[in-house]
Amino acid sequence: MSVKDYYKILELSPTSTPKEIKQSYRRLALQFHPDKNPGNPTAAINFREIQEAYEVLSDPEKRSRYNYQLRKPLRAATSVDLVFSPQDILAASLAIGKSVSLTDIFRMNKESLNHEILQLLSPKNLETLTRAGMKNLNRQVINEILYAISPLPYHLLGPILENLVVLAENDDSILEKINNYKEQRKWRNRWDRSYPWLVLILTILLCWLIYSSAGR
């Protein structure tokens, strides 16, 4: 699905400051206000889009999330690494976590989720996060990714967890959390693999007991 270019709607560039965003919004809102354009449906549509664009671009968190979504199709269409800010990366991790929480786990495209998370944790993005040195933000990213990968099968977790360890750097508490998560998933994977055999053995045992009781 295509993403509306809110910067184009407000006649701005992605590097525009909050002050420039507000100034452009006021100018365009005044120009296309319904009171100044009675009976003009095109002006009414433009006015609504201007309001929608300003609502997103004037909010730092919404703007960071939007910036990531705006660049995502470009990233898929080119081999060139695009540059994201730490806030963009956090916003993207929050968006992935929210998407996972709203999606039926049995209908989820797990390969696509795995690919999206690995893209988010690309070497360029990891370098951006570690260079910024924003420990609390990095913790948030790690926590969101640990939540988002819960539906993924165990065999896909290795590269993601390795990248999270790189991002954690010297943060002992978050490194312990990653390691504990890995161990929990390892045991869960063993149980998932053993469960069908356990059910089969119990079924055979139950059938044998019934057969033995009937033969007496």
CA 114 to chain centre: 11
Query: Percent of the chain scored above 90 by pLDDT?
Result: 37
Shared domain for 43 and 86, answered yes or no, is no
Answer yes or no: is 101 within a domain: yes
- Which residues, at least 6 apart from 18, have a Cβ–Cβ distance to it below 8 Å? 58
Shared domain for 22 and 127, answered yes or no, is no
Domain that holds residue 44: 6-58
Report which DSSP code applies to 156. G
Q: How many domains does the chain have?
A: 2
**Under a CB-based contact definition with an 8 Å cutoff, are residues 163 and 126 in contact?**
yes
| 155-196 pLDDT, tens digit each | 899 999 999 999 998 899 999 999 999 999 888 877 777 767
| 74-124 pLDDT, tens digit each | 455 444 445 578 888 888 888 888 888 888 877 778 888 888 899 889 888
